[in-house]
Chains A and B, each alone.
Chain A
């Protein structure tokens, strides 16, 4: 008997603590989770093996989460990927920028692991309808 295919989620954050805890949280919730610690690796992973959902840190050295999102939306193969931006900023302009660039949702740091799981579940459920 084959196991059901797990939904694949990519998480990119340059803070190892945050990355580890989110990977742990979503793995415990039954998802297949890939964690990377920079924007370039996130983009490479998305293009090589597109996940169902990407959670990108807004501020990463090199390629930021917003930069990755722009490239994802500009690519015909990945433009429909669900993306949540993870940000320490709460300014309206950053939220505007996130949604204007095509983010499906955003979550502010400090992170509530429980809230994040609810949002991930909700977003994926919307996409499955």
Chain B
């Protein structure tokens, strides 16, 4: 075969392939649009029933009966809408939607999906069991915290947080550890999940504060602070004083601002010293404002003149949060053209704009 004929043949083959590819794309798009239209039509036919259940207005159970009787091919299209609604409501409405999913066999199906070979299916199953918020299902989800797929571990942790399963607290802390085989759970996922579990996890958090893993200590410090677990204050003080990781110390300082007392105010003031790392000093300045102990006032006033101007701003903001007495301190410093005066004036002006100090300082 001559070169010219071969070239022509190749061009014809490429041309036909292009035409087939375009045709395939067009057919797929038409099919998807038609399926979407059909779904929307079917959904609109049952939307009122779904809204009635989700708004807790299906008193006689008519809407539930209608959706329970929907043939399976239609239910397959309706299911995503029901699942979308569930995390948006709580109370009886959520219980009724969960009951609908249960009676349609979705909980059983989701439970079976947890052992699927596909990570996507395991994650979907874990998500559904989470939004149903049934504590009895927590035991099925806990093993997934050690799943080989990191996305599945994340979904399982979040679901356990939504359920509020305190029995999963240790498992979530374990999942934070990074090993040679797997990367640990992201800290924000763990913090969010643990906070969702309430005060029942206090002992797990206290134990976690002395863990040999920095990620675990860091998350426990954050949860102790955001969850205001007061019993953790002594261990947080030790962490602030002894941890070798800057992030862990900063988390401990932040937490002490929420759960500490007079002793912790002294410790926080000590770590605003210029020999400490900038991040820790700034966190301590904010924490002193959170704590609101009068003995911290002078420390914060001194920080107004610090070379770290961000630290000075944060100290000024903390003084604003003390209320009248803090504003009075700022006003007494806000004279002249010194760095302290500038920081004080900036905080006062900002607080006026926010409407925080109109009661204390006039505009005159």
Contacts and interface: CB of A to CB of B under 8 A. Distances in A.
Interface of A: 15, 17-18, 20-22, 24-25, 28, 100, 109-115
Interface stretch (B91-99, B134-142, B245-253, B261-269): B91-99
B55 A28 contact: yes
Interface in B231-250: none
A110 B88 contact: yes
Nearest to A97: B354
Contacts of B337: none
Contacts of A110: 87-90, 94
Contacts of B90: 110-112
B88 A113 contact: no
Contacts of B47: 20
Interface string B43-62: 00001000110111100000
A99 B45 CA distance: 41
A17 B84 contact: yes
B91 A112 contact: yes
Contact of A15 (B51, B88, B93): B88
A115 B91 contact: yes
A115 B54 CA distance: 13
B85 interface: yes
A112 B55 CA distance: 8
Given A17-B85, A20-B47, A110-B88, 19 more contacts: A17-B88, A20-B51, A21-B51, A21-B54, A21-B55, A24-B51, A24-B52, A25-B57, A100-B355, A109-B88, A110-B89, A110-B90, A110-B94, A111-B88, A112-B56, A113-B57, A113-B89, A114-B92, A115-B91
Contacts of B52: 24
Contacts of B87: 110
A115 B355 CA distance: 31
Nearest to A101: B355
15 contacts: A15-B88, A17-B88, A21-B54, A21-B88, A24-B52, A25-B56, A25-B57, A100-B355, A111-B90, A112-B91, A113-B57, A113-B89, A113-B91, A114-B92, A115-B91
Interface residues of B, number: 18
A28 B47 CA distance: 16
Contacts of A21: 51, 54-55, 85, 88-89, 93
Nearest to A110: B90
A24 B93 CA distance: 13
A89 B283 CA distance: 23
Contacts of A15: 88
A25 B55 contact: yes
A15 B52 CA distance: 17
Contacts of B56: 25, 112-114
B321 to A, nearest CB: 11
B84 A114 contact: no
Contacts of B51: 20-21, 24
Contacts of A114: 56, 91-93
A110 B84 CA distance: 12
Contacts of B355: 100
B34 to A, nearest CB: 23
A111 B89 contact: yes
Contacts of B93: 21, 112-114
A20 B84 CA distance: 14
A6 to B, nearest CB: 17
B266 to A, nearest CB: 25
Interface in B16-63: 47, 51-52, 54-57
Contacts of A24: 51-52, 55, 57
Contacts of B94: 110
Nearest to B162: A110
Nearest to B195: A90
A109 B85 CA distance: 12
A115 B56 CA distance: 10
A114 to B, nearest CB: 5
